Amino acid sequence: MSKTTIEALNWAFLYLKPYEKMGIDDSGAKLLLANMMHWDNTQLVLHYRQNLSPQIWQQFQVNVKRYAKGEPVQYITGQATFYGSQLFVDRRVLIPRFETEELVEWVLKDNDQMVRDVLDLGTGSGAIAIALKKQRQAWQITGSDISQAALEVAKLNVNQQKVDIHLEQSDLFENLGDKRFDVIVCNPPYIAESEKNVMDQSVLTYEPNQALFAKNDGLAIYEKLSQKAEKYLKVGGRLYCEFGYHQKADLSQLFGQKYQVVFKKDVTDHDRMMRAIVNSEGKS
């Protein structure tokens, strides 16, 4: 027997109630069904009285039970929204976060439509590269990642979104030759291993550790960037990074001598983004 959309959601809300203390809530059930039906939130409400097919109703029940065990909705449905694009995601890549859209906004605000060479370093699903390319079609964008598995996901998204982005397997700059860029964007692994005990269990269980954790208290990638980025930036080129809310002082120390550094707060008033421009006297 099938259900209407609202009946299916009410069943899910009741089923999930015992799991509330684990962070499993009604919003996840709504996102789950919306993703399955390829609806946005408004369309979900408009279809409250629509009968779901028996197949959808059965699959929704299976998916809700997976969600109750902590599996992220985005992995269950293979969908994540980032900067207006519906992207494919699975456990080979991190789920794009809403707060990273603020980093994209900063890059776009700083840099106009003129032709630019841009590198998305550690591209993962390709979310940042795709968002930038859709807004700046003249930019020549490269997305690189150490993980070949992640690049397979990025390639799928690039093809689905019909954007022209070059993808390259590389451990940071290792395989990028001597090319220099006007803009480098990097949202690297920046979580310290010691922070595992305060993290969401579903993130630890399902998302790729390689894309989450870095050595040296989460600073290992930034240490390498501070040493190498200047060699891959054009004169006046800019490096943009996302970082952990407690890492500003360390990044100031790492980048302060060679670069002009500006930090930016996110919507929650935490310092979470950095722009670094090479000092002219420090340019090699």
Q: What is the pTM of this model?
A: 0.93
* Annotated binding-site ranges for S-adenosyl-L-methionine: 122-126, 145, 187
Instruction: Please say which residue of 44, 77, 110 terminates a domain.
Output: 77
Quote the pLDDT of residue 279: 84
Say if 52 falls within a structural domain.
yes
Say if 160 falls within a structural domain.
yes
Provide mean pLDDT across the span 49-65: 97
Q: What is the mean pLDDT of the chain?
A: 95
* Annotated binding-site ranges: 122-126, 145, 187-190
Band of the pLDDT at 281, cuts 50, 70, 90? low
Question: Helices (DSSP H) in the chain: which residue ranges?
Answer: 5-16, 26-37, 41-46, 54-68, 73-77, 100-110, 127-135, 148-161, 201-206, 215-218, 220-228, 248-255
pLDDT for residue 276 is more than 70 = yes
Directed axis angle between helix 54-68 and helix 26-37, to 10°? 140
Q: Structural domain of residue 130, as residue ranges?
A: 93-282
**98 plus 9 within the same structural domain:** no
Provide mean pLDDT across the span 23-30: 93
* Annotated binding-site ranges for substrate: 187-190
Say if 85 falls within a structural domain.
no
CATH number at residue 224: 3.40.50.150
Residue 121 phi/psi, 5-degree rounding, is -85, 115
**191 plus 98 within the same structural domain:** yes
228-258 pLDDT, tens digit per residue, is 999 999 999 999 999 998 999 999 999 999 9
Say if 86 falls within a structural domain.
no
Give the total number of structural domains in the chain: 2
How far is the C-alpha of 39 from the C-alpha of 33, rounded, in Å?
8
pLDDT for residue 282 is more than 60 = no
Band of the pLDDT at 130, cuts 50, 70, 90? very high
Band of the pLDDT at 22, cuts 50, 70, 90? confident
How far is the C-alpha of 188 from the C-alpha of 190, rounded, in Å?
6
**163 plus 197 within the same structural domain:** yes
**177 plus 234 within the same structural domain:** yes
Band of the pLDDT at 192, cuts 50, 70, 90? confident
Residue 107 phi/psi, 5-degree rounding, is -60, -45
Q: What percent of the chain has pLDDT over 70?
A: 99
